[in-house]
Each structure stands twice: as structure tokens, then as C-alpha cells.
Amino acid sequence: MTRRAKWLIIAGLLALATVALLAGLFGYTSTARFCASCHIMETRYVSWQNSDHAAYTNCLSCHSEPGLSGEIKAHLAGARYVYAYLSGRQSGPILLADVPNENCFKCHEAKDFGKNSQDLGQVHSSYHRLHVEKKIACVSCHGGLAHATMLPVKSRSAMSLCQNCHQPHSRAVRSCNSCHPFGPASSTLGR
């Protein structure tokens, strides 16, 4: 075997090992356990574990844009967060992360809003459909559900969130407040 052939084999093996290492690193950094390994994310991890979302999601399924390019962008943003935290150069909130509606629709199908479903009921479904049609972000109303509490209770959106957009005495708010509480968050076991 020539010297050049040996170097090509060594280079090929190194390239293969590098690809395997990067794939493993990419896989590990996609887990919720990795996100929780950062001290400032511990409370987010625990509150997510206590939510309904823990059984069906991980951090990236909500906090990355759809597709492989979105996941790569999320990894790069995460690397920036880690660097900012370790270097002490963070400028502003580090815990803010967008959740695109498309990620919600992976599990909660928008085409079903407006149909009489056992989960939501006709009224709730109609309101959801109207909000989706107006392209209102799901997290505008439901943003705290996946990270609502450190306690293992079911959390629901409170009517006070509706008042961020609707007038307190509007028909939209009055029609809902007989069943839904006002306040920062509703932590009830029922719906």
C-alpha cells in the first residue's frame, strides 16, 4: 500500500469519526436533559415535566422553526446562549424563545378548529379558528401552559390574557368569564 493510500484511509476514517461525533453531539443537544443541564434552565425543565406537553414534546419540537434548517438554527442559538452564559456576556433575557404556530399545529390541527370536538367544544373551537385565521400567535393565549408551574397540576389559560387584546367588558370576554377565572393563571384540574 502506498503512503498516499494510507493517508487517504486515515483522512477518511477521521472524517467518518468527525461525522459520527457531530451526529452524536447533535442528537444529545436535541434532548430536554441537555437543555436542563444549564443551571438557568432547570426551572423551565421542571415546569415542562409537570405539564401536559412533557409526554409529547421536547424543547426543540416547540422552540425551533419547522424543518432541519429550523433545528440547526435552534442549535446555533443554543450555542450562543451557552457562550453568552459561560463568558458572562449575556445582554438581555436569555430564556425567551419563540414558538411558531406551525409547531403547535404538529399536534393541535388547525383544520379541526371549528368542528365540534370532545376536547374543546363548539364554542372553544370557533374561537380558536377565528384566532388562527387572524394569524394570532398561539402563545399569545397559551404561552404559559408548557412552563406554567413547578407543581404537578394541570394549568389552563386565564381570562386576564384575553384582556390583552379584548376590552374587559366586550362581548368576547363577557361570554367566557362565567366559566373561566380572572387572574395570572388558572391552575385547575378541570377544563
User: Per-residue pLDDT tens for 156-181?
Assistant: 566 667 777 777 777 766 666 666 65
Q: 141 near 131, Cβ under 8 Å? A: yes
- The answer for residues whose C-beta is within 8 angstroms of residue 187's C-beta and 6 or more apart is 148, 149, 151, 153, 154, 155, 156
Task: Kindly state the cell numbers that stand for 84.
Answer: 453568552
The model's pTM is 0.64
Residues of the chain with CATH 1.10.3820.10: 3-87
Q: 142 near 51, Cβ under 8 Å? A: no
CATH superfamily of 3-87: Di-heme elbow motif domain (1.10.3820.10)
Is the C-alpha dihedral spanning 136, 40, 82, 87 positive or negative?
positive
Q: Does residue 115 have a pLDDT over 60?
A: no
